[in-house]
Amino acid sequence: MSFHGPFRQVPQFQHGPERASARPPHTQHVDWHARYPNEVILRGPSDRRAVALTFDDGPDNVWTPLILSVLAKYSVKATFTCVGQMVQGNPAILQQIFQAGHNIENHSWSHPDFTKVSATEAKSQIERTNLLISQILHVKPRFFRPPYGAINDQVIAEVVSLGMKILYWDVDSLDWSGLTKEQVVANVLAHTEPGSIILMHSAGGRGGLADTVQALPSIIETFRREGYLLTTLADLLREPAYQ
């Protein structure tokens, strides 16, 4: 695949893309899951060699279609956690994701740190995104992935009040941070176990996501050689994707 030539304008988040300073330490993920084992999903069951690829921050009109193309080539189903502002700008691509058999989940309206907004704003961010997705696809997401993985007890209570669960991850590719293809592959393969939920991105990134797109074939091919099934979040968890 070629990544040369001009790209179309991609909408920017109101609160900015991924940044390391906004992310809590990885160990906090485990702590929240331990405190709220039914509400905060860190990983799936380990009774089979299955994993879920999840892609944050889209859909955009540059990287998301390229990622969809790779997934289609390998007949892999994945999960896309979507930002409302991006859905608003790219409804046809959201439909393309859904029609290809991938799960669609909620990643807020404008990608703020939910520990720094009011309970009212947090609820509005989630509900506004759910409403737009449901208007386009006629399904309502059941899982919410908090931007930067930033949550607190108040955020968890708001999510649960909406009949949803919080989606974390146990494998972070760090693909948004400007890593090389080889580094992205190594981050994923070195930490994945049966039941893992793998965090990647379908929009944003420092300088784009060419290395994410280029890393995907190696990741998929290696998993398959090792007998792993790459599947949707709903299939991994054996739970409905939608409310």
40: three-class secondary structure by DSSP: strand
pTM greater than the 0.85 cutoff = yes
pLDDT in tens, 52-101: 999 999 999 999 999 999 999 999 999 999 999 999 999 999 999 999 99
CATH superfamily of 45-237: Glycoside hydrolase/deacetylase (3.20.20.370)
Kindly tell me if the per-residue pLDDT of 129 is higher than 80: yes
User: Which residues, in sequence order, are bridge partners of residue 171?
Assistant: 198
DSSP H helices, 106-239, are 119-137, 153-161, 181-191, 210-225, 233-237
Active site residue 113: no
pLDDT at 120 over 60: yes
More confident residue, 4 or 31: 31
> What's the confidence (pLDDT) of residue 87?
98
CB 230 within 8 A of CB 220: yes
Question: Rounded to an integer, what is the distance from CA 9 to the centroid of its chain?
Answer: 22
In whole numbers, what is the pLDDT of the chain averaged over residues? 91
Choose between 18 and 143: higher pLDDT: 143
Residue 7 region by backbone torsions, left for phi larger than 0, else alpha for psi between -120 and 50, else beta: beta
pLDDT surpassing 90 at residue 7: no
Residue reference for tokens 């007890």 = 153
pLDDT above 50: residue 8: no
Task: Note if 201 is an active site residue.
Answer: yes
Statement: residue 5 has pLDDT above 90? no
pLDDT over threshold 80, residue 13: no
Q: How far apart are CA 150 and CA 116, in angstroms?
A: 9
Catalytic option among 15, 29, 33, 56: 56
Structure-derived torsion over alpha carbons of residues 179, 182, 184, 187, reported in degrees to the nearest 10: -120
Query: Closest by alpha carbon to 142, among 221, 220, 57, 39?
Result: 39
The pLDDT of residue 107 is 98
Res. 134: pLDDT tops 90:
yes
User: How does pLDDT run across 16-46, given as a tens digit for each residue?
Assistant: 456 555 555 554 555 899 999 999 999 999 9
Predicted local confidence at residue 156, as pLDDT: 97
CB 30 within 8 A of CB 176: no
